[in-house]
């Protein structure tokens, strides 16, 4: 008979031997976690030199993998300020202001035609400068339509029974629609009609804006208001350009040859000029004249500055430069065009 107890009873079966593990890794208990450093294929583990970063849309990455961002930034060279050109534009702004102010003095009850002819000549200059500078797709068509709009606006301002802006508004809308339809008829310009909407609207509204001076001369104290507002505008534009010729600092943008000192000095001296004129003209005080002069002078100077930014943007976009005389007449003409309705609004609202 065999004994029911094995002779190995009481002996530790694993004594002196390693505990057997499961032959199949899928059976039994999982192995314990590793506490030592893990070795790569080459036996060395890459040391971390900093915390891991999270990359947007991807796994983390270390600062060692980060590309160098300390590359030098390319500086845009500043456009030089040409003093003879700035002096020439300042002289043109002064002559334009003197012509408009003296033309307003010729206007009287029943004698609006001389002033209307002067305004029409300025409008033709505006059409020439702005069409050559902006170059809409149908340049000749836009120029002809704008000239027709200028003549119609002046006739409406002179012959209307009541001095108001409603007839001028109708003329502006009709001219804009006619210009757009004329470009739609041309197959070549039909593709770029959306590009020409802004330029056509600016030119049409600009020529109509000069017609508000004729309407302003027909209301009480309108001629005095024209003298104050256009005098302040002329002085502001002239001083701004003269300051740019002497001290164009600080530069507002490297691509624009204008300085902040000229813009501020022009607006301030233009306001002072309007206050001095208001102390001599009937129906005005230095305070009221300075108020309307400040609005028109600041508006004109900012419009002149905006034209410079627009020209710099066209050059940076790769467009060829326009006619020399046209693009430099554009700023003062745009300043007077924007100052005219501002003068009308200030005269109607505050006088």
Q: Do 171 and 123 meet the contact criterion of CB atoms below 8 Å apart?
A: no
Which of 138, 213, 219 lies closest to 182 in space, CA to CA?
A: 138
Which of 304, 236, 257 lies closest to 80 in space, CA to CA?
A: 257
- In this structure, the number of other CB atoms found within 10 A of the CB of residue 180 comes to 18
Q: Do 237 and 335 meet the contact criterion of CB atoms below 8 Å apart?
A: yes
Which of 191, 189, 83 lies closest to 142 in space, CA to CA?
A: 189
Give whole-number Cα distances, 205 to 68, 210, 300, in Å. Answer: 52, 9, 16
For residue 43, the model assigns a pLDDT of: 45
For residue 73, the model assigns a pLDDT of: 54
- H or E element, residue 252: strand 251-253
| Residue 66: both structure tokens together | 């980060």
For residue 193, the model assigns a pLDDT of: 65
For residue 127, the model assigns a pLDDT of: 96
- Over the chain (351 residues), the average pLDDT of each successive run of 10 is 46 47 48 49 47 48 49 68 94 97 88 93 96 86 94 95 92 92 68 73 95 94 94 97 93 91 96 96 92 96 95 84 85 96 91 71
Query: 8: which DSSP letter?
Result: T
Which of 73, 78, 53 lies closest to 63 in space, CA to CA?
A: 53
Total-model pTM: 0.78
């Amino acid at each position: 008979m065999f004994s029911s107890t094995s002779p190995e009873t009481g002996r530790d079966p694993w004594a002196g031997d390693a505990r057997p593990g499961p032959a199949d890794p899928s059976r039994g208990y999982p192995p314990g976690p590793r506490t030592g450093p893990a070795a790569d294929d080459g036996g060395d583990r890459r040391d971390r030199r900093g915390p891991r970063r999270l990359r947007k849309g991807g796994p983390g990455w270390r600062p060692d993998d980060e590309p160098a961002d300390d590359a030098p930034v390319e500086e845009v060279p500043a456009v030089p300020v040409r003093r003879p050109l700035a002096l020439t534009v300042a002289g043109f702004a002064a002559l334009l202001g003197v012509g408009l102010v003296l033309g307003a003095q010729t206007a009287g009850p029943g004698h609006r035609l001389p002033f209307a002819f002067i305004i029409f000549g300025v409008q033709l200059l505006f059409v020439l400068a702005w069409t050559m500078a902006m170059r809409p797709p149908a340049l000749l068509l836009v120029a002809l339509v704008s000239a027709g709009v200028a003549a119609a606006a002046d006739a409406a301002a002179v012959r209307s029974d009541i001095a108001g802006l409603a007839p001028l508004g109708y003329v502006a809308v009709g001219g804009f629609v006619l210009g757009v339809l004329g470009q739609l008829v041309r197959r070549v310009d039909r593709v770029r009609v959306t590009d020409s909407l802004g330029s056509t609207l600016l030119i049409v509204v600009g020529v109509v804006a000069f017609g508000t001076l004729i309407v302003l001369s027909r209301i009480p104290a309108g001629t005095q208001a024209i003298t104050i507002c256009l005098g302040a505008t002329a002085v502001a534009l002239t001083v701004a350009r003269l300051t740019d010729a002497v001290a164009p600092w600080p530069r507002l943008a490297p691509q624009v040859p204008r300085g902040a000192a000229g813009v501020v000095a022009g607006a301030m001296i233009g306001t002072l000029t309007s206050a001095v004129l208001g102390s001599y003209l009937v129906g005005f005080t230095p305070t009221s004249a300075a108020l309307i002069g400040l609005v028109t002078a600041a508006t004109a100077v900012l419009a002149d500055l905006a034209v410079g930014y627009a020209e710099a943007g066209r050059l940076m976009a790769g467009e060829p430069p326009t006619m020399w005389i046209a693009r430099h007449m554009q700023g003062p003409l745009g300043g007077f065009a924007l100052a005219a309705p501002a003068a009308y609004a200030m005269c109607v609202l505050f006088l």
